[in-house]
Amino acid sequence: MTAARVAASIEFARGEIHLRLDLPDVPFVALTGPNGAGKTSALRCLAGLEQAAHVEWPDGEPASRGYLPQRVMLYPAMSLADNIASSMRFAGLSKASIAERTAELLDLVDIAALARRRPHEVSGGQRQRTGLARAIAATPKLLLLDEPFSAIDVASRARVRARIVKHIAESGASCVIATHDPNDLEATDAASIVLS
């Protein structure tokens, strides 16, 4: 709980829009605003995927990141469990701890029964749950989530969201969420930045 939050200041040009935003020092930051305002671009800048962007990290660049893009992008050749495990493998965690944590995360997002399925064999909501688990698996310092709960069915969205939010808060990570959903703001108690 006491881990230092990630602070960042991004400068990037998107079309003719020149954007500068400073992330406040709180666990959750929500990027909101109309389509095309640059929410996804801002997340990509923080992920280090935009060459043209200039990102400043006053407290140093985060050592590890977790990323859930809007289209989820689960690796097609891997099972859901392997997708979740992948980010821990890339982070160099031990085999035993990866297996244990993968099982925990499968339960956390309620897809344990689908562990061995491939991404194309499950629904969009189930893919999003898997993408969420993959992003938080290696307990990164900075989490970047693009519309993270939008595809999950309404009946279970609040439950999954509450679990994920609690998990992230306890891990001490900073989390930037791009969202349209007011419920996301409420559930995360996020400082919101409106892009326009």
| Binding footprint of other proteins on the chain (CB under 8 A) | 47-49, 64-67, 69, 71, 73, 75-78, 86-87, 89-92, 134, 138, 140, 144
DSSP structure class, residue 14: E
Tokens of 102: 């993968």
Q: How far is the CB of 89 from other proteins (least distance, A)?
A: 7
Task: Pick the closer one to other proteins by CB: 15 or 76.
Answer: 76
Q: Which residue has the tokens 């993959």?
A: 134
Nearest of 148, 117, 156, 110 to residue 131 by alpha carbon: 148
Q: Are 31 and 43 in contact (CB under 8 A)?
A: yes
Task: Pick the closer one to other proteins by CB: 118 or 163.
Answer: 118
Task: Pick the closer one to other proteins by CB: 24 or 69.
Answer: 69
Q: How far is the CB of 78 from other proteins (least distance, A)?
A: 7
User: Residue 19's beta-bridge partner residues?
Assistant: 12
Task: Pick the closer one to other proteins by CB: 75 or 180.
Answer: 75
Q: How far is the CB of 12 from other proteins (least distance, A)?
A: 16
Q: Which residue has the tokens 């801002």?
A: 42
Q: How far is the CB of 196 from other proteins (least distance, A)?
A: 26
Q: What are phi and psi of 13, to 5 degrees?
A: -100, 130
Q: Are 87 and 138 in contact (CB under 8 A)?
A: yes
Task: Pick the closer one to other proteins by CB: 40 or 187.
Answer: 40
Q: How far is the CB of 95 from other proteins (least distance, A)?
A: 15
Distances (CA, A) of 186 to 12, 23, 29, 31, 189: 28, 18, 12, 13, 5
Task: Pick the closer one to other proteins by CB: 139 or 187.
Answer: 139
Q: How far is the CB of 91 from other proteins (least distance, A)?
A: 5
Q: Map residue 21 onto helix, strand or coil.
A: strand
- In angstroms, rounded to a whole number, what is the distance separating the alpha carbons of residues 192 and 108? 26
